[in-house]
Structure 1
Amino acid sequence: MILDALTRYYQAVNLPRPGWSKVKVSYGLWLNDNGDIINIISYASDSNGTRKKTASKIIDLPEKVTGRTSLSIKPNFLWDNSMYILGIASKDRKADEDKDAQKRKDEHVKKCFEGSKAFHISLLTQVDSPAAKAVLAYYKNWDPEKAISHSEISKHPNLTTGGNIIFLYGNDREKIENNEVQNDSLIRLAWEKYKSKDSGNPIAFCPVIGQNASVARLHTGIQGIRGAQSSGAPFVSFNQESFCSYGKTTNDKGENAGISQYAAFAYTTALNYLLSDHPAHLWNTATQEKVDPPKSGFRYASQLGDTTVVYWAEGGNPAYQEFYHEMMEPESLSDAKEEVNAVLSNLTKGKTVDINGMDLDPGVQFYILGISPNKTRLSVRFFLQDSFGVFLRRIQEHQQRLEIVKPVRDPRENLSFWQLLQETVNPNSKDKNPAPLLGGALVRSVLEGLPYPAALLEGVFVRLRAERNINRGKAAILKAYYLKNPNSGCPKEVLTVALNKDSKSVPYHLGRWFAVLEGIQQDANPDKKKKDKDKNTKDTVLENNSKEKTISNSGSSIRSRYFTSAATTPAVVFALLVQLSKNHLDKLEDGQKIYYQKLVQEIVDHLPDELPTRLSLPEQASFYLGYYHQTQDRYTKKED
């Protein structure tokens, strides 16, 4: 299903034909008729005067060779790194300590260049074009040992950092691409003739194209997956006998899958294209014109922990991908928020919408693929397919469940998946990634309309106990979780956007009460100067065993000391807090004191004479939501 959908996407989009692929390029060697390097063109971005290692230009080049390792010699045609093109490489970091290691590397680099030289001579000898003859002359005359002293190479010290290099030949200084050797018609013809030769691979039925065809033994690696090999990791591979088809072994490689060479090329080309950078066509609501793409480029993919999520629409229209990206990354809406919401409303109602001349049909099939690294290979975390409108409706319902009153200074309209996952991560930890499987589970629950994963709730409770505070993100997760996963301990009446004074939930009102008691303490010590002045003042309260316990006003708040215990064992803790609150009330002016006394009485009227000795997990969620709602209500009134 995955390979079939990707192959159809390849056929629908203007992607390189078989034998060609999109490659990132850093430099171009400009040759004259004699094969001499007369200039070196840098395609790399310039930042603060230092050339970046990553290339800024992606062009169609002869297909990348498969199965190349750090030890094997397999050159690419008309492009490669400095070892294959120039016969030079950066100095081994351990060269000064290990002379033998540097010697082995030098020998390997020499073999790489000689392999590239032999390969190009074999393909270009019979090609009657000036560009081909220039490349041939280059390989026949170039001496790698003199490369470092070459006047042009010395201008580009980062040539050996791993970026790809191509050849140029010609006199067109205005359009550089007209000089790129791979665009020479006779050279292209020679390459395609070479690729069309009988591979000798067995013929078998390909389940993707539905007919007998030559089977691909090796599939091109997939690049752009965070945590995987940067050079590309296989999407389809076999490394143990237990994974192989009956009668096949690991030596048969891709024959176990039975995927044709065409289908293997198509799906890998499509997936690599989706994972690469593209110009973004996001709209500007003021001018209704497309805005300039971000400098970093736009990928039809997003990151959730260790999972890279890639998405596409049947037919290849990029407008679907970009609109879906807006929904998955709501913080990017900014000025386009109103227009996006209007479009979303129509799409979820089944109406076709026009955006910048591109029709969005909610009935179009949409695909979402989650991939994560697995050592040297890739793992599929999930693969979802449904109509575009269904996915958008589920995302909209998810955002509605998350809707909750927010702090005045929080500019975010909605919370992204990544922001939700971050609520389960220790902010002081060096590793800011959530649990490996949680991202995929969260996405699947939303896009398939399933209950939220229990691990999400567990992660939030762990952070609540550790941080002893609740923010918008955690409150939104609690609200959304119990709306989708109903539980009587956290009834719907507490799962509101803002404060619900009429709720009958005892834990909810206990949370409200705690927020008010905290407010009394804060107003009793309004500023740091007052705290410093009273730093020796102690509040004395009596515990159940009549033993005195002292709490420093200036040291810590009741939230930092009692937030977690109040949410789990309220009967014990609130007896202490009430005694402490009396001392805080005595410090307030009469108007403030009366206000708080009335507010406390209004809350206490909803509580039984005997408070619960212990609250369950859902009841604790009600407590935290009551606290959050009451706190935001207090802050809102202060702002007013």
Structure 2
Amino acid sequence: MILQALFQHAVEARLVEAMEAKERLVHLVLTIRPDGSIAEGSPWQVLYRTIADPKKKEAQKEEPGRPLWMPEFPGVNSGGKANFLAEACDKVLGCNGKTGEPIADDGQNASKAYLHFWQRIADAHKATADPSLTALLAFRDRYLATPEGRDALKSIADLRPFGKNDLPTFCAITATQVIPLDKKTITFKVGVTSGPMFEKGSPLHDYWKGEFNRERFADAPESSANNRGVCLVTGLENQQIAEVHRTLIKGVPGLPPIGGYLVSFDTSTPSLSSYGFERGWNAPVSEQAAAAYALGLNEILADKVCRRRFGNAVLCSWIPSEPEISEAFSLLFDTPAQDAVKKFFDAFEGQGSFHHALDTRQFRSLTLAANGGRIVVRRWLDEPLRAAVAALKRWFTDLDIEPIEVPRKAASVAKAGGRKGKNQDQTPSDDVEPIGDSAGTGPLPLSIYALAATTARVASEVQSTVYDALYRAALEETNPVSLLPSLLQRLRISAAQSGNAIRFQTSRFALLKLILNRSEKRSMLERQPMLERQLIETNDPAYNCGRLLAILDDIQYAAQGDVGADVVARFYGNASTFPRNVFPRLLRLEKHHRSKLVKNQKKRHVGIALGRKLDDVFALFRPVSDGGPPDFPGTLSLQEQGRFALGFHQQKAKDNRDLKEYLARKAAGDTSPDLDTTDEFLADSASE
């Protein structure tokens, strides 16, 4: 099924028809005259391309080499052969790219490759009588056939001091600079004003297309009648079966630079020979289909829209024949702005631009890794586009949680590198997910990378299995519950470091909400209400313990202001795992803090208002005895620890929402007595 999907992609993109040529990086073009002599002046044309400078943001720099449309090698070059028309220095000029010494005629691969390069040109000249090839052969006879000719070549290619230590280096000599020839690809141009030798539709292109197909397919050893059969990919009969899949695949992390194979056969292992079949006959695929699926996969891996690399794996996702929808899916994972999410799903509604594909297209996703020179398929998904859209919609619904915007004052402190207290109160730590887009116009739904980063100390330490679990949760509606322990551990560590600033870390709480709501391990008796976007009223002790800690933190802040380590920094870890051991002590501290508030005439009303909030949460607990204190749970399971965290965050989010509403009403001139005095105090504190 995977090979059929990749083959289909290659056919739709017409990759098989154009596989005889591709863009290759060419560094130098040598200009010669029609008689084969080197052009006067500066015969070398040095090619550059512009790339982004990794050391300077938004800057660009010139890098040697430019992609040119050139002939492709037919199959795999295992040594002793060369490309047509463009190759490295040793194959074109017949001399070592570092020292300039002529290649010895000793029958080794280097000598064979040099002879093969020029034999290709001679064969092409014989078949086409192309004048440019006549010039190339004349160049070979004039400069490469005799020692005297090679001496004449030294005017444009010779040893020159190069590098920091001015070491003798074989270089191309131009009017303004010298270019080391080692690992540089060289091609030719005949005449100063002429264009490229190899162009689409030219006689050389037509010749090479036929030659490529002959070498790649017709002359393969399996072309005999005994090596024909039914292709499992196309279903066609009497096809030349590929004993070896020769087209290399590149772009999978961990593969050698030359590439690797998705399908390969080990002849040294008898257990891999099913029913006596050997090599490609274990799973017969035609030569054309074997080349096509590899070309299709290579194009997908080269497309930044379709691929997502994470750790030692890469995920490819695409919708056949729908590049715009494929790109929209990709952007939704990378930069899921709130308006973009709505626009995406609206596009699949009645008159939307994507509605036509909803019931006619498939969504395909392929996760790959490497093992030596072989490619490992970790995950394959092929489902109707409608199912993928529905899964993605539920993904964003389950992630939806009320965010808390970072106050402007706190954001400016963080930007300046300053702190507000040792626990950075009001200031997010480095791993806080920013809320709002670059223009500050609203909250952002969370990207897959921000969610994954919540499970590790820094983003670079995120395991590839984390991304895999998140993508499966988004596209297959699975529950990434395996991430819960590491997510909670990082949350406890972050609380100890950042204190109540963890409330800004929307990514953590959104992922917690998704995991808990999708959990299937709770029995019907243990099942708690589904967590919503905002604070819910429930008798769940774990959730209410989290709410309680949030209110106790507000009471401490109202009584003492900024402190070196707030209640959250000191007690979150133990409170979220052993509430009964911690909350009695915290309530004793709360009485001291509230007493201080009540005695202060300016803050008395704040103490009373916060006390009412506390009593409202106490009422949700079962008391130890009639009229006694709440009966806090002894220990909390991982699921309950997650509900504790969400209770804390959603209580803080409600307080933040109430504060915004208070400020809006106050700005509108509303002086009604029902305005919460707690919000008034917090508003005044935020402006200090």
The TM-score by the shorter chain falls in which range?
0.7 to 0.9
Partner of 2:230: 205
1:301 to 287, 307, 326: 307
* TM-superposition CA deviations, 1:8-65 (whole Å, max 9, x none): 1211123351652433424351533226472425252255785336x66463x33335
The question of whether the paired residues in 2 share the 8 Å contact of 1:233 and 1:378 is answered with yes
Distance change >3 Å, CA 220–CA 482, structure 1 → 2: same
Distance change >3 Å, CA 396–CA 328, structure 1 → 2: same
- 1:478 is the counterpart of 2:478: no
Distance change >3 Å, CA 8–CA 434, structure 1 → 2: same
Partner of 1:436: 464
SS, match of residue 633 in structure 1: helix
For 1:334 and 1:81, locate their aligned partners in 2 and report how far apart those are by CA, in whole Å: 51
* TM-superposition CA deviations, 1:227-270 (whole Å, max 9, x none): 33333221111235133444355xx4x45442211111211111
State the TM-score, normalized to the length of structure 2.
0.73
SS, match of residue 614 in structure 2: helix
Identify unmatched segments of 5+ residues in structure 2. 54-58, 145-149, 159-169, 407-434, 437-442, 496-501, 598-602, 624-630, 664-688
SS, match of residue 460 in structure 2: coil
Distance change >3 Å, CA 567–CA 323, structure 1 → 2: same
Partner of 1:329: 334
Whichever residue aligns with residue 325 of structure 1, its letter is S
Comparing 599-608 with 122-131, greater Cα deviation is found at 122-131
SS, match of residue 524 in structure 1: helix
Distance change >3 Å, CA 619–CA 247, structure 1 → 2: same
Question: Which has the greater radius of gyration?
Answer: 2
SS, match of residue 432 in structure 1: helix
- 1:504 is the counterpart of 2:539: yes
Aligned residue runs from structure 1 range 28-107, under 5 A: 28-32=28-32, 33=34, 34=36, 36=38, 38-45=43-50, 47=53, 50-52=61-63, 57=67, 59=69, 61-68=70-77, 72-85=79-92
Partner of 1:313: 319
The question of whether the paired residues in 1 share the 8 Å contact of 2:391 and 2:474 is answered with yes
1:572 is displaced (CA, Å) by 0.9
1:400 is displaced (CA, Å) by 0.7
1:520 to 541, 555, 567: 555
2:646 to 618, 625, 638: 625
1:516 is displaced (CA, Å) by 1.3
- 1:600 is the counterpart of 2:608: no
SS, match of residue 296 in structure 2: helix
1:128 is displaced (CA, Å) by 0.8
Partner of 1:584: 593
- 1:151 is the counterpart of 2:168: no
Distance change >3 Å, CA 567–CA 138, structure 1 → 2: farther
For 2:307 and 2:588, locate their aligned partners in 1 and report how far apart those are by CA, in whole Å: 55
Distance change >3 Å, CA 359–CA 499, structure 1 → 2: same
1:154 is displaced (CA, Å) by 7.5
For 2:531 and 2:474, locate their aligned partners in 1 and report how far apart those are by CA, in whole Å: 18
Whichever residue aligns with residue 322 of structure 1, its letter is E
SS, match of residue 22 in structure 1: strand
Aligned residue runs from structure 1 range 527-546, under 5 A: 527=562, 531=563
SS, match of residue 379 in structure 2: strand
Whichever residue aligns with residue 215 of structure 1, its letter is I
1:437 is displaced (CA, Å) by 2.8
Partner of 2:12: 12
For 1:9 and 1:118, locate their aligned partners in 2 and report how far apart those are by CA, in whole Å: 36
1:578 is displaced (CA, Å) by 1.4
* TM-superposition CA deviations, 1:197-249 (whole Å, max 9, x none): 43222323211122222223232111222333333221111235133444355
Whichever residue aligns with residue 261 of structure 1, its letter is E
Whichever residue aligns with residue 328 of structure 1, its letter is F
For 1:27 and 1:433, locate their aligned partners in 2 and report how far apart those are by CA, in whole Å: 37
Distance change >3 Å, CA 209–CA 49, structure 1 → 2: closer
Whichever residue aligns with residue 342 of structure 1, its letter is D
The question of whether the paired residues in 1 share the 8 Å contact of 2:81 and 2:112 is answered with no
For 1:15 and 1:362, locate their aligned partners in 2 and report how far apart those are by CA, in whole Å: 27
Comparing 18-27 with 389-398, greater Cα deviation is found at 18-27
Distance change >3 Å, CA 621–CA 274, structure 1 → 2: same
Aligned residue runs from structure 1 range 386-397, under 5 A: 386-397=383-394
- 1:463 is the counterpart of 2:498: no
2:369 to 358, 369, 372: 372
The question of whether the paired residues in 1 share the 8 Å contact of 2:25 and 2:185 is answered with yes
- 1:573 is the counterpart of 2:582: yes
For 2:479 and 2:606, locate their aligned partners in 1 and report how far apart those are by CA, in whole Å: 43
For 2:205 and 2:319, locate their aligned partners in 1 and report how far apart those are by CA, in whole Å: 32
The question of whether the paired residues in 2 share the 8 Å contact of 1:304 and 1:418 is answered with no
Partner of 2:529: 493
For 2:650 and 2:526, locate their aligned partners in 1 and report how far apart those are by CA, in whole Å: 14
Partner of 2:261: 234
SS, match of residue 475 in structure 1: helix
- 1:384 is the counterpart of 2:381: yes
Distance change >3 Å, CA 36–CA 362, structure 1 → 2: farther
State the TM-score, normalized to the length of structure 1.
0.78
The question of whether the paired residues in 2 share the 8 Å contact of 1:235 and 1:378 is answered with yes
For 1:438 and 1:568, locate their aligned partners in 2 and report how far apart those are by CA, in whole Å: 24
SS, match of residue 209 in structure 1: coil
Partner of 1:535: none
1:340 to 335, 338, 344: 344
- 1:268 is the counterpart of 2:285: no
For 2:281 and 2:122, locate their aligned partners in 1 and report how far apart those are by CA, in whole Å: 31
* TM-superposition CA deviations, 1:159-179 (whole Å, max 9, x none): 64x565544446667xxxx52
- 1:408 is the counterpart of 2:413: no
* TM-superposition CA deviations, 1:306-334 (whole Å, max 9, x none): 331222333x2322312222333343x58
